[in-house]
Structure 1
Amino acid sequence: MNLTSDRVRSIGWISALVVCGAMTVGLTLRVNAVKSQVHDAEKRMVWVQRDIDFLETEFQTRSNQQALRQLNDLEFGYKAPVAAQYIEGERQLAALGMPAGPGAPAPIRYANAEAPAGEGGGSLLAMVSPVAGATAAALPGAVTGAEREGRDPEREALARDAAALGKRLAHIEVAEAAKQ
């Protein structure tokens, strides 16, 4: 085998390039491994920061709860409900009630809108009982128009005024310009 100096140089350069390529590949793998470790460390740092934030919030919440408990004990004296405070049903609730004593305020009554005296039956639709199938005026105990009259003259005057206003507002007048 005859090796000339040119061939030795070529083999030397090729071997140097192979060694440099191998070192480059090794160095690239090492750099990627270090990058992966840095990335993992950053992820752990984010998780630790989240844990720290959670623990700070928990600490502040508990310290606020302690401050509120101390304020409650000092100022208000509220207690948590116990099982003996709850009632079992309507009968036990009714047993707690007492009859109205002397000087007690009158019970709250709900307003009753009556139909105006000028209109015979009702305003728009007659109220029909779903059980009896009759109108509200035909049911026993219903207040009729004759019974309603004579109760309060001021109220009747207001009802007449409201009926007249309703008729005026319900009437539509067409403008002259719209006709042409």
Structure 2
Amino acid sequence: MNLTSDRIRSIGWASVLLVCGAMTIALTLRVNAVKSQVYDTEKKMVWVQQDIDFLQTEFQTRSNQQALRQLNDLEFGYKAPVAGQYIEGERQLAALGMAAGPGAPQPIRYANAEKPVSQDTGSSLLAMVSPVAGATAAALSEPAPATAKGRDPERAELARDAAALGKRLARIEVAEAGQ
């Protein structure tokens, strides 16, 4: 084999390029490995910073709890509930009840619709009743038939009282200073 100087030079340049390419690939892999280590270290730094923030918050909370406990002991004297303060059942709750004393207000009672539903309205709601006249809203808006006027004297008396009350409320009377 006859190697000429040009051929040797070509082989030399090819081997130099091959070595440079291999070194570039090795250097790229090394740079990527260092970048990965830097990224992992930054993640660990973020985790450590979050742990530090959590511990600072925990420390502040516990110090505030201690300050609140000291303030409670000094000012208020509140105590945590103990097991003896809880009620075991309905009987023990009923035993705590007392009869109403003299002058105590009456217990609140709720209305109960025991009347059957009227067929003419078809509604399950109770009819609205005027507190003054004692009549339903429908009866006040409709004129009463002539045959029913004389049948219910109590209702007629209530209607007269309501009209008189309306007249009294519509008039303004000035009270004198001597009265």
Structure 1 pair 123/85, CA: closer, same or farther in 2 (3 Å)?
farther
Alignment partner of 1:162 out of 113, 133, 137:
137
- Partner SS state of residue 100, structure 1: coil
CA 1:106 to 1:124, structure 2 compared with 1: closer, same or farther past 3 Å? farther
Render the CA deviation track for 1:53-72: whole Å, top value 9, x for unaligned.
Answer: 22122122222222222222
Which residue matches 2:80?
A: 80
Q: Distance in 2 between the 1:17 and 1:44 partners?
A: 40
Corresponding residue for residue 109 of structure 2: 110
Q: Counterpart of 1:162 in structure 2: which amino acid? A: A
Q: What amino acid is aligned across from residue 135 of structure 2 in structure 1?
A: R
Structure with higher RCO (Cα < 8 A, 6+ apart): 1
What is the number of residues matched between the two proteins? 135
Paired amino acid for 1:32 = N
- The 1-side partners of 2:4 and 2:124 are apart by 123
Distance 1:21 1:57, change over 3 A: same
Give the structure-1-normalised TM-score: 0.62
> What is the deviation of 1:111?
5.5
CA distance in 2, matches of 1:54, 1:122: 70
TM-score by length of 2: 0.62
- The within-5 A match list for 1:52-91 is 52-91=52-91
Quick one: distance in 2 between partners of 1:6 and 1:65?
A: 87
Superposition CA RMSD, Å: 3.0
Taking a change above 3 Å as real, the CA distance of residues 22 and 167 of structure 1, as seen in their structure-2 partners, is farther
Gaps of 5+ in 2: 144-179
Note closer, same or farther for the CA distance 1:166–1:22 as it changes in structure 2 (3 Å cut): farther
**Which residue identity is paired with 2:105?**
A
Unaligned runs of 5+ residues in structure 1 are: 115-119, 128-153, 169-180
* Runs of 4+ displaced beyond 6 Å: 120-123
Aligned to 1:48: 48
